[in-house]
Chains A and B, each alone.
Chain A
């Protein structure tokens, strides 16, 4: 199931300015025949069945599907937060466990999971403290990251004093602070209103293009998946499996205008129809 990224890559390279990420890289993440069952015997639930995907370095992939399709489970298997029953995950040639211990993963969860006893800046510093970076350096790095998510003025606030969207931006700054090679995002904007979500999508793309990191993004929002991704994995529920892969041949950088392109609407429709098929299976 290696994606045929010919069209996407060429479109991106033709239309995007120099430095825009493309799908042309080698597979950073390889998921091979992953099956995940929860429980034993007759009560066992198969969350994932024989899933294989290859995410190229520098690309932005979304996992989309109805609830219960195992997209979050797949992300957690990739991040070594849960173990697959069968199959394997490699990240840059390492096993998922090795990659996690080597701190290859930046994770952003549906909830911001900030430490409310720390200031915003010290939340961003948390991973840097854990990797043992010196005080001055990590402070400087945290401030750069906060500027990147445009929260420089809020460094000394506590998370409880910030809105939900701002908290999630702090979580993104924290996940990126130690420059992980892979950013795993589990419905990070699911709890936000539509307007805030679109703004966060714009910001996320801007950051992704600046940092050129690889992103795997779980969502149940079709417009969000189409707007953000270079490639979309559509999953079907019970048991979760890959139903279709859709290349998103919209040029980067994307903006407000992208949401009004005919091609954008075509892709949204394509994903929607694929998902509808998934429901009927």
Chain B
């Protein structure tokens, strides 16, 4: 080992850590500034032009309503968010397991992939009333089922793609070691698939919230966010409806952020470049 070789890597890795911190700051700051700018412009334009709150309330009034209504908003987010998370976990889990079976056995792939595509083509809106009938519209399970169906498809496709994305050199290595199929699966295929799986989870996190709210509009629980928005619109509380949208938005961001955090924790090699 020469000094030059041993000196390069620690220096490089500490530079990497510093630039990662700068990276986060560098990415967060412009986003926050842009958001603030948009909110200020929104406020100014609405006031200057005199747009009526029925069409577009000001951000300041939405914020005020948001804080005033926190207990009711929390209940709405709890109801809808629970369905979103349950469906996300079930749909994601089922998609991964199905994808794993399909990647493991060729005949399963040939049988399951067309079915997966068919599932993906189902419009969510159409399934909501059916699931309401199946699971009772007063249960969280009908909404969770809609969410699961929506999350399932991207997870299935990405799992199959990810498990098949193994590097030829890695395959040759495992072959030279006479690795049994199960070892190839757990030690090579699954880790290779993780970035793809997390990609599906990120897409799924966004879709889950949308699907949960859409299914709220078809019956569903009275405490749900969708039902709450319908009620508020009917009573001309437009600012309240906007505050509910803002709360859903925050929930969606939190879900997405949790997935992104899990991704960074569980697949740290993604930053190695």
Check A113 against B170 for contact (C-beta < 8 Å).
Answer: yes
Closest beta carbon of chain A to B266's beta carbon, Å: 9
Is A163 a contact of B5 with CB atoms below 8 Å? yes
Task: Tell me the bound Cα distance from A184 to B267 in angstroms.
Answer: 32
Within 8 A of B (CB), among A88-103: 100-103
Residues of A within 8 A of B199 (CB): none
CB pair A115 B12 closer than 8 Å: no
* Distance from A271 Cβ to chain B, minimum over Cβ atoms (Å): 28
A101→B267 contact, CB < 8 A: no
A205 near B: Cβ within 8 Å?
A: no
Most buried by B among A103, A118, A129, A161: A161
| Closest 7 pairs between A and B when the two form their complex, measured CB to CB | A160-B272, A113-B169, A107-B176, A150-B1, A117-B191, A116-B269, A101-B178
C-alpha gap A118/B170 in the complex (Å)? 13
Interchain CB contact under 8 A, B9 and A162: yes
B173: contacting residue among A103, A113, A151, A157, CB under 8 A: A113
* Least CB separation from A171: chain B residue: B173
Interface size on B, residues (CB 8 A): 30
Minimum CB–CB distance from B198 to chain A (whole Å) comes to: 13
Interface pair B177/A115, CB less than 8 Å apart: no
Choose from B9, B167, B267 the contact partner of A154 (Cβ within 8 Å): B9
Which residues in A have some Cβ–Cβ distance to B below 8 Å?
79, 81, 100-103, 105, 107, 109, 111, 113, 115-118, 126-127, 129-130, 150-151, 153-154, 157-163, 165-166, 184, 196, 199
Chain B contact residues, majority secondary structure: helix
CB contacts (< 8 Å) of B272 on chain A: these are 116, 158-161
- B268 located at the interface, meaning its Cβ lies under 8 Å from any Cβ of chain A in the complex: yes
Distance between Cα atoms of A120 and B169 in the complex (Å): 17
CB–CB B176/A115 < 8 A? no
What is the chain B residue whose CB lies nearest that of A152? B1
Contact, CB under 8 Å: B173 / A117 = no
The answer to whether B2 and A100 have CB atoms under 8 Å apart is no
Known contacts A81-B172, A130-B183, A153-B6; A158 and B269 CB within 8 A of each other: yes
Task: Give the A-binding residues of B (Cβ under 8 A).
Answer: 1-2, 5-6, 8-9, 12-13, 16, 167, 169-170, 172-173, 175-180, 183, 187-188, 191, 194, 267-269, 272-273
Pick from A105, A107, A160: contact of B269, CB under 8 Å: A160
In chain A, what residue has the closest Cβ to B12?
A161
B46 to chain A, nearest CB (A): 50
On whether the beta carbons of B5 and A165 are closer than 8 Å, the reply is yes
Question: Contact: B173 with A109, CB < 8 Å?
Answer: yes
Q: Are B13 and A161 in contact (CB under 8 A)?
A: yes
Residues of B within 8 A of A116 (CB): 269, 272
Complex formed: what's the CA distance from A109 to B177 in Å?
13
Residues of A within 8 A of B180 (CB): 130
Nearest Cβ on chain A to B195's Cβ, whole angstroms:
10
B182 CB to closest chain A CB (Å) equals: 10
- State the Cβ distance, B96 to closest chain A Cβ, in Å: 17
How long is the Cα–Cα vector from A81 to B177 in the complex, in angstroms? 11
Which chain A positions have C-beta within 8 A of B9?
154, 157, 161-163, 166
A93 to B273, CA, bound (A): 45
Closest chain A CB from B156 CB (angstroms): 22
Q: Known contacts A117-B269, A158-B272; is A105 also within 8 Å of B13 by CB? A: no
